Amino acid sequence: MNNELLEKYALLLVKTGINIQKDQTLVINSPIECASFTRIVSRIAYIEGAREVVINWRDELSSRIKFMNAPEEVFCEYPDWQRDFYVSSARKGAAFLSISASDPELMKDVNPERMSKANKAASTAIKEYRDRLMSNKNVWCVASIPTLSWAKKVFPELSEDKAMEKLWNSIFKK
Q: Each residue of 104-162: pLDDT tens digit? A: 889 999 999 999 999 999 999 999 999 999 999 999 999 998 888 888 888 889 888 88
106 backbone dihedrals φ, ψ, rounded to 5°:
-60, -40
pLDDT of residue 174: 55
pLDDT of residue 153: 83
25 backbone dihedrals φ, ψ, rounded to 5°:
-85, 140
H-only helix segments in 13-144: 35-47, 60-69, 80-91, 112-125, 127-134
More confident site: 163 or 113: 113
Question: Rounded to whole angstroms, how far apart are CA atoms 156 and 92?
Answer: 45
Cα–Cα nearest to 62, from 2, 98, 103, 122 = 103
pLDDT per position as a tens digit, 28-59: 999 999 999 999 999 999 999 999 999 999 99
